[in-house]
């Protein structure tokens, strides 16, 4: 992977919410290579709990999750005064017409269809992260 131009060594935390192990491992690997601290969740309930305890700087949210789907998790987090500032990026294989609008209506700040481009993902999320002091 060529990561030229991407600032490494970030101490920023990203919560990856993905029930598919292969997809989760790929995203985690890309983020770690780029210097991010990664927190993982495999279902909607765990995503809410880890968001409350870890206070990540950004959430990458699969929309189709066990227990509570990503749409509802996003709505709940955006209603929480202490958590609503955290950017949530939908990361989903469902890229049909209207899916992006549905994700944004639920409160997602951005939408990235799968399969992800491992070279582009760090650039895509960087826009939503505040620069390190």
SS (H, E, C) 78-99: HHCCCCCCCCEEEEECCCCCCH
* The total number of structural domains that make up the chain: 1
User: Is 132 inside a domain boundary?
Assistant: no
- Kindly indicate the confidence band of residue 94, based on its pLDDT and cuts at 50, 70 and 90: low
CA-nearest of 45, 62, 73 to 115 is 62
Percent of the chain with pLDDT strictly greater than 90: 78
Question: What gap in Å lies between CA 44 and CA 61, rounded to an integer?
Answer: 9
- The CATH number assigned to the domain holding 52 equals 3.40.50.2300
Positive or negative torsion for Cα 105, 108, 112, 114:
negative
pTM: 0.89
Read off φ and ψ for residue 37, nearest 5 degrees: -85, 130
**Burial (Cβ within 10 Å: 0-12, 13-18, ≥19) of residue 48:** buried
| Structural domain range at position 93 | 13-126
User: Is 24 inside a domain boundary?
Assistant: yes
Could you tell me the two tokens for 68?
């509570």
Please answer whether residues 47 and 75 qualify as being in contact, where contact means their C-beta atoms are separated by less than 8 angstroms. no
- Residue-wise pLDDT tens digits, 29-45: 999 999 999 999 999 99
């Amino acid at each position: 992977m060529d990561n030229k131009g991407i600032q490494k060594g970030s101490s920023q935390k990203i919560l990856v919410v993905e029930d598919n192990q292969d997809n989760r491992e790929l995203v985690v690997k890309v983020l770690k290579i780029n210097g991010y601290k990664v927190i993982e969740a495999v279902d909607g309930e765990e995503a809410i709990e880890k968001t409350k305890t870890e206070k990540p700087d950004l959430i990458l949210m699969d929309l189709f999750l066990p227990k509570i789907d990503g749409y509802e998790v996003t709505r709940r987090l955006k209603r929480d005064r202490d958590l609503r500032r955290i950017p949530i990026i939908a990361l989903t294989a469902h890229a049909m017409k209207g899916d992006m609008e549905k994700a944004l209506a639920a409160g997602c700040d951005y939408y990235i269809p799968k399969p992800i481009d491992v070279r582009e993902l760090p650039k895509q999320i960087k826009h939503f992260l505040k620069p390190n002091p």
